[in-house]
Structure 1
């Protein structure tokens, strides 16, 4: 089931890359909705499950919350390191094609972890798996868009950009399939979900939503974000 659902992430990633070549004026609405879905999954489903699965405390703080903060900070540091390399080499101008390939490779690694998160969530339960998969699929549009854009931005050929896009699309399927080979202990699973939730929240708050409002600070974008979070609330309520 996890692998089948991960195929949705595969298709959404390709769609994001295709959109990067044919950007439309409605991209901000898609990103706004994706940010709302991710926020809803983290706050209303993923983090509560992580707290329940990893119940032990470290110096008075639940382990899942510590890892949640760690995931947020890790995503922030990775994003800042990539931004520093981009500034050092200069965006565009074809000066350092390897920088674009490195950034795209980091996106592929991130998508691989997304797939593992889907498989791990399905080990908790089908409802949990579906909600996490929904969050992954929602933000994989942006992943595909950014993978293609980052690769081509630094002067790489279209063929290389497409190759990195395809690798990014396959990564979550491979990650989900890998979880069929092992069962993650409940405590470790809770910690991982907490860490993944922190990283996911960072992507929503620092990447997806600012990008959605960058050129189109429209009320419709805010409504899409609220609708995404509300939809997850509905999904969680029905699942319970």
Structure 2
């Protein structure tokens, strides 16, 4: 089931890359909704599940909460080291730096591929947790993989890489969640380890929503409609989580 669901992420990533060549003025609404879905899943689903599965304390702080913060910080560190944020902004604002360092575009795209691989593992791990967890995590992954596909293609091409390289990186990013989900068929995570991983992934997901997706959604369109899409995404996850319980 996890692999089948991951195929949705595969298609959504390709769709994001396809859209990168045919940009419309409604992208901010899509990103606003995706950011809301990611925020809802991280705070309303992943973190509570992680706390329940891996809630023992380390120096007075629940382990799952430490890993949640660690996931957030690691995502921030990787972003800074690989200049993903700088590259992503260039993808949207037409920055003049794009032809200066093709390797930056490739490095940024490689980081996104690694993230997509972890997305697939998160889908598989969530389905192992049972209940509605797999559905809600898959929803978040699939929704923001549009942005991943868009950024992977655009960042690679805007930094002076050939179109075939941009397409190759896009295809690799699309395959990554399927490979990640398939890898979880080979093992079953102990409940405590699963809880820790979900907490860690939740922190990284929160960072992507708060520091990447939502700022981009409001970058040129600080409209109330974008904010409404974000709130709708959070409310939808709340509803899905409540029904799953």
Give TM class, smaller chain: over 0.9
Q: Post-superposition shift, 1:91? A: 5.8
Q: 1:77 corresponds to which residue?
A: 77
Cα pair distance change 1:52/1:116, threshold 3 Å: same
Note if contact 1:91-1:154 (Cα within 8 Å) is conserved in structure 2: no
**1:17-49 residue CA offsets vs partner (Å, 9 max, x unmatched):** 111111100000000000000011111111100
**Deviation (angstroms), 1:85:** 10
Q: Which residue of 2 aligns with 1:125?
A: 130
For residues 135 and 185 of structure 1, do their structure 2 counterparts lie closer, same or farther at Cα, with a shift above 3 Å needed? same
Q: Aligned runs of 1:16-165 on 2, under 5 Å?
A: 16-83=16-83, 92-165=97-170
- Which runs of no fewer than 5 residues in structure 1 stay unpaired? none
Alpha-carbon distance in 1 for matches of 2:34, 2:52: 26
Change (3 A) 1:60 1:136: same
Q: Indicate if the aligned counterparts of 1:6 and 1:118 stay in contact, CA closer than 8 A.
A: yes
Return the match for 1:181 from 180, 186, 189: 186
In structure 2, the CA distance between the partners of 1:60 and 1:235, relative to structure 1 (3 Å rule), is same
Secondary structure (helix, strand or coil) at the match of 2:195 reads: helix
Partner of 2:175: 170
Q: Deviations over 1:168-219 (max 9, x none)?
A: 0000000000000000111111001000000000000000000000000000
Out of 190, 199, 202, the residue aligned to residue 195 of structure 2 is 190
Q: What is the alpha-carbon root mean square deviation over aligned residues?
A: 1.5
Give 1:99 shift: 1.8
Q: Distance in 2 between matches of 1:120 and 1:62?
A: 20
* Cα separation, 1, equivalents of 2:98 and 2:203: 35
Q: 1:91 to 1:77 in 2, by over 3 A?
A: farther
The offset of 1:92, in angstroms, is 3.6
Shift, 1:154, TM fit = 1.0
**Displacement of 1:84 after TM fit?**
8.3
Per the TM alignment, residue 8 of structure 1 is displaced from its structure 2 partner at its CA by 0.8
Distance in 2 of aligned mates of 1:27 and 1:217: 12
The aligned length equals 238
- When residues 213 and 93 of structure 1 are mapped into structure 2, their CA distance, relative to the original with a 3 A threshold, is closer
**1-side partners of 2:36 and 2:53: how far apart?**
25
